[in-house]
Structure 1
């Protein structure tokens, strides 16, 4: 509909078309219909962006977990980096030392040694008191054997060589994590019914070899069976494995879909900046929820592990070691979300945002004028930066975002570093723009 008028069809005499001038009632009706269409279109965009935002927020925690599982399973270096600290964790070392020492001592028949000594003394004609004393040596002998075995095992477990053996074994058996998640019965970490167990067979072999070299020939009889340590028990392990398999499959696509939903939510919203701030805030809240969930799961896990199966401090060390990269990723996304929401707010019309922008502009302008007054003028470059401030700012922000995307497993420190560099570049560009110098601009205006 033409608000100024509509052309009438030409008459039969071939006269020029005449415009129909809208009456006041027609113009009012036209404006009403246009406002109605605009409101309807705006509401549709709001509903669509709200649905996309809800999907993005619901998928965000799952996307983080899925990406963590996918990275841990598919990247050998990442997997080894995840489990390597267990070899140097004192609480875990203590558990391994005690378990191995108990098994070695259990295979040394101290009572038979004491009986043999007593018989030998008796046959050699030793006094009865001496023979009785030899028979009572079982407890001291057992303590002595345990002391020597414990010292030998401790030297093996706490040595750098053990850490290297541990990392090498885990690198060769990288499929251990996959086996735990899928329920396969191969590898260092595997699922057995409702339990997840750690195979310490390589450690047992090394300890047995060291003990035999130290003169404990009986250590060669240490059995090859029962060489696992139960990490934790969970009745819902089967369901957790099914969920992990699903997350592993979606590990590549779920984060991408979440980012697309969030971007579409911002793009379809009538107010892009406001929706960007809302989206960033919502994702930050979901990251906080995920961190709380990890803390709750830690408590549940520790409560499910009997102290007789694994000491609390060792269980806590194992849990914290396995999920530390997930925590790091969650914290990193939380920081990114907070920064994004803050930037979106600072570009808004709020009084505090205007005050911050004003202080920044005055500061960079003063610095630029000081450079210009000192003879360091940017001339054409400065004027170009002034005329293309929005483009340069967008390019710097995009470059920072791309850097974080290409960064291999960015941390909070990496985010702070990239943010600091981006802010420094923006400040430098603003100072260079202000250093164009009024004399240069006057000369440009005077030029023909």
Structure 2
């Protein structure tokens, strides 16, 4: 090739290289945008799918409602009202008044009997309220609640999709709580306490409306879609993000950008949940459900979703920080030098103390990149295989990974500088 031909060849080669890098960058950016847009939806879809299909998870979700004072107060008041409605106090006072008239009692006594309606109704309500309170606040109610929800796991399907029957179900534009088991227990205890009329409490109207939702049917359509997508949407999101990092010209930079983007989307999801909570509380009339009870119900149902979102936020921040610390930035280099000096000093002190690591230390020193990558991969795999990791689990795994890296670095340094130099010089 002549000099001009060589120059033209190099120019075309550089042009092709630049074009290839631009195509990779564009493709990586498109995949990253798709992954970030799908990330919040994937988290919600996975939560819905897991809550619907996992009986233990569902019972764990709804179990705290039975012991929440705000919810207990609603149940007690509603049940007390319904029981008192079926106790005919007027009939009792009318019968007493008529009996006094027939017996020739003085007019003042007859009038006094007629005035007993209010105090008698108050006394009945006090006794009924005390009995209902004992039932609802007892461990029996907690056990009955959990057992009923476990045996009728279709309740969660009823609430989220509008189909099936259970303790919590959606119907006629409202989400209702079925208190049939509690009504039976209250009726039995009232009869045992001497209120024979309590046996006439009907089996109908045994539900308490938790909240109304004008757009419930549209929300249920969305939940059904999320239930279908929940099995594969999180996997697709992770694959998109991984491919975006893999095809990017600068893998480390793209990993840092991806982790930061996921963190931002998790913040957006947390803000959306907070806004939805405020909208929900403002939309629930106090006559339907007191504000404190509505807040408890919302927070209880969504607590695992919020926990997962916070965990992913912390994990994304850690990933972005780790990607930065492996880069060429001045703070990153300074931190790595400081850590290397510290582990080297510890390793040499160990060697001087008569505990050389020999061939093992020399092997670790010669394969430091592989051992570091292996430890990081093991930590990532542990989080991936952990059943519902939380922030504390992430902190635990991070601590173990850092400890392992420090130990490996100290063991490598304990081989001694001369031995490591000889090992590197050996053919």
**In structure 2, do the counterparts of structure 1 residues 188 and 315 end up closer, same or farther at CA, with 3 Å as the change threshold?**
same
* Match among 151, 158, 161 for residue 137 of structure 2: 158
Does residue 305 in structure 1 map to residue 304 in structure 2? no
How many residue pairs get aligned? The number is 427
1:283 and 2:262 are equivalent in the alignment: yes
Cross-structure match for 1:336: 315
Q: SS state of the match for residue 232, structure 1?
A: strand
C-alpha separation in 1, matches of 2:257 and 2:52: 34
For the 8 Å contact 2:362–2:419, the answer to whether it is kept is no
Tell me: CA distance 1:77–1:185, structure 2 relative to 1, closer, same or farther (3 Å).
Answer: closer
Task: Compute the RMSD of aligned alpha carbons.
Answer: 1.5
Query: Residues 46 and 269 of structure 1 are in contact (CA less than 8 Å); yes or no, is this contact kept in structure 2?
Result: yes
The match for 1:228 among 207, 215, 219 is 207
- CA-CA distance at 1:121 after TM superposition: 2.4
Equivalent of 2:150, from 171, 177, 180? 171
For residues 46 and 384 of structure 1, the distance between their equivalents in structure 2, rounded to whole angstroms, comes to 37
Q: Which residue of 2 aligns with 1:199?
A: 178
Q: 1:149 to 1:408 in 2, by over 3 A?
A: same
Q: Offset at 1:441?
A: 4.5
Matching of residue 188 in structure 1 with residue 167 in structure 2: yes
Preserved contact between residue 386 and residue 433 of structure 1 (Cα < 8 Å): yes
Residue number in structure 2 paired with 1:425: 404
User: Cα 1:283–1:162, aligned 2, differ >3 Å: closer, same or farther?
Assistant: same
Q: 1:161 to 1:247 in 2, by over 3 A?
A: same
Tell me if structure 2 keeps the 8 A contact 1:60–1:258.
yes
Unpaired segments of 5 or more residues in structure 1? Answer: 1-21
Residue from 1, 4, 8 that aligns with 1:29: 8
CA distance in structure 2 between the partners assigned to 1:356 and 1:443 by the alignment: 28
Secondary structure, counterpart of 1:322 in structure 2: helix
Question: Is the contact made by 2:51 and 2:58 (CA closer than 8 Å) also made in structure 1?
Answer: yes
Determine the structure 2 residue equivalent to 1:408. 387
Distance in 1 between residues matched to 2:29 and 2:417, nearest whole Å? 48
Does 2:239 match 1:260?
yes
Contact 1:89 1:317 (C-alpha < 8 Å) held by counterparts:
yes
With over 3 angstroms needed to count, the CA separation of the structure-2 counterparts of 1:253 and 1:447, relative to structure 1, is closer
Of residues 341, 344, 347 in structure 2, which corresponds to 1:368?
347
> TM-score, structure 2 length as denominator?
0.97
Superposed CA offset, 1:67-98 (max 9, x none): 00011001000000000000000000000000
CA distance in 1, matches of 2:206, 2:65: 17
CA distance in 1, matches of 2:72, 2:425: 81
The structural deviation recorded for 1:126 is: 2.7
- Matches of 2:69 and 2:297 in 1, distance apart? 11
Quick one: distance in 2 between partners of 1:446 and 1:73?
A: 62
Asked if structure 1 preserves the Cα contact closer than 8 Å seen for 2:262 and 2:313, the reply is yes
- Tell me the CA shift for residue 446 of structure 1: 10
Structure 2 gap ranges (5+): none
- What is the rounded CA distance, in whole Å, between the counterparts of 1:357 and 1:441 in structure 2? 20
Match of 1:240 in 2: 219
Residue by residue, what CA displacement relative to the aligned partner does 1:262-307 show, whole Å, maximum 9, x if unpaired?
A: 0000000000000000000000000000000000110111111111
Deviation at 1:443, TM superposition (A): 7.4
SS at match of 1:196: strand
CA distance in 2, matches of 1:381, 1:425: 15
Are the equivalent residues in 2 in contact too, given 1:173–1:187 (CA < 8 A)?
A: yes
Per the alignment, residue 377 of structure 1 pairs with 356
Q: 1:372, 1:437 within 8 Å by CA — same for their partners in 2?
A: yes
Q: Identify if the C-alpha distance between structure 1 residues 231 and 126 changes in structure 2 by more than 3 Å, giving closer, same or farther.
A: same
CA contact (8 A) 1:305 1:315 kept: yes
TM-score after normalising by structure 1: 0.93
1-structure distance, mates of 2:5, 2:136? 91
1:444 is displaced (CA, Å) by 6.2
Tell me how far apart the structure 2 counterparts of residues 396 and 375 of structure 1 sit (CA, whole Å): 27
SS at match of 2:166: coil
C-alpha distance in 2 between matches for 1:442 and 1:51: 47
SS of 2:10 mapped into structure 1:
helix
Q: Would the aligned equivalents of 2:154 and 2:164 in 1 still touch at CA under 8 Å? A: no
